[in-house]
Amino acid sequence: MTEGTGTTAGIAGYTALVTGGGSGIGLGTATRLVRDGAHVTICGRTEEKLATAVTELEGVAARSEAAGLPVGSARYVVADVTVEEQVGAAVAEAAGPRRHLDILFANAGGSHTMGPITEADLDGVRATIDLNLVGTFLCIKHGAPLMAAGSGEGVDGGEAPGGSLIGMSSGAGHFPHRYLWAYGSAKAGIDMLCKYAAEELGHTGVRVNTVQPGIVDDELMSFITAGGPLLDDYLAEMPVSRLGTVEDIAAAVRFLAGPESAWITGEALAVDGGHHLRRGANYGLLFG
């Protein structure tokens, strides 16, 4: 994981929860937050993966300390974002002794089905919506009360300010990607859910935004990024024609998480090399 050389002290001491934080964009974002001095809790369903990720994050914190930079920390909690009790427990753990959560990146997601609508498996569709849309809803439901201004202590020991909640959407939720309709519909739901939450929670000091990544070279997308017609199709429809990196997305989330974006809420930020300006990818290419 590339750590870079600079740091921003704007989130030093902040508490953060990153769901799906054991790998990919979740781990990349946790790395960026820890590097900038935040106390980050990652969650996911696989304890071994989480434990390995925390070891990596502790190394990031140690190198920051050695360089005289703000020192963050990392820990994990095993949680399935589709199980309400586990989400509530993860949020409470991440809030820590200050009883306040500054940042929540609802990153966990994925697709359990792909292909024509008329041939879709209902269980796969429901699982996709549950993981993405319902999981994000549960993060907002349980995270927002602990992110509200005045809930717990601030970093300086005074009254806590409001927090920032970022939902993980996708370009597939903004414009059609052939045969990726269940995933895309769930991601579109996240964008609208977060707009509703931004409108409803603004008076509490909680900001809510989403990021809409394009094709990113991580574990989840390796079946595409390894090469082939679908990757070629993606690149042909991107004005900045390259694969995205985990760091590209982490930088966008970091901006939305911190005080630099204090007057931004209800935004859906495309981070996709301009892919949204053209047409979506044709996943039919995977079916021959």
Q: How many CB atoms lie within 10 A of CB 218?
A: 20
In a domain, 4, yes or no: no
In a domain, 31, yes or no: yes
In a domain, 161, yes or no: yes
Could you tell me the residue range of the domain that residue 67 belongs to? 10-287
Specify the pLDDT at position 1. Answer: 40
- Known active-site residue 183: yes
Does the pLDDT at position 5 exceed 60?
no
Does the pLDDT at position 250 exceed 50?
yes
Task: Give Cα separations from 188 to 88, 153, 175, 230, 262 (angstroms).
Answer: 24, 34, 9, 22, 24
- Domains contained in the chain, number: 1
Three-state secondary structure call for residue 17: strand
Position 108 confidence tier, pLDDT thresholds 50, 70, 90: very high
Q: CA geometry: angle at 169 spanning 166 and 173, to 5°? A: 150
Specify the pLDDT at position 125. Answer: 98
**pLDDT digits 0-9 by tens, 6-65:** 444 499 999 999 999 999 999 999 999 999 999 999 999 999 999 999 999 999 999 999
Q: How many CB atoms lie within 10 A of CB 4?
A: 12
Does the pLDDT at position 283 exceed 50?
yes
In a domain, 3, yes or no: no
In a domain, 210, yes or no: yes
Specify the pLDDT at position 288. Answer: 72
Mean pLDDT across the chain, nearest whole number? 96
Q: What is the CATH number of the domain that holds 175?
A: 3.40.50.720
In a domain, 5, yes or no: no
Please identify which residue in the block is written with the tokens 């030093």: 12
This prediction has a pTM of: 0.95
Does the pLDDT at position 2 exceed 90?
no
> Is 103 within 8 Å of 29 (Cβ atoms)?
no
**pLDDT digits 0-9 by tens, 156-202:** 999 999 999 999 999 999 999 999 999 999 999 999 999 999 999 99
Q: What is the mean pLDDT of residues 105-132?
A: 98
Position 147 confidence tier, pLDDT thresholds 50, 70, 90: very high
Helix axes 181-201, 135-147, angle to 10 degrees: 20
Q: Provide the 8-state DSSP code for 70.
A: -
In a domain, 1, yes or no: no
Kind and range of the H or E run holding 270? strand 268-271
User: Which one is catalytic: 76, 183, 234, 283?
Assistant: 183
In a domain, 83, yes or no: yes
Position 208 confidence tier, pLDDT thresholds 50, 70, 90: very high
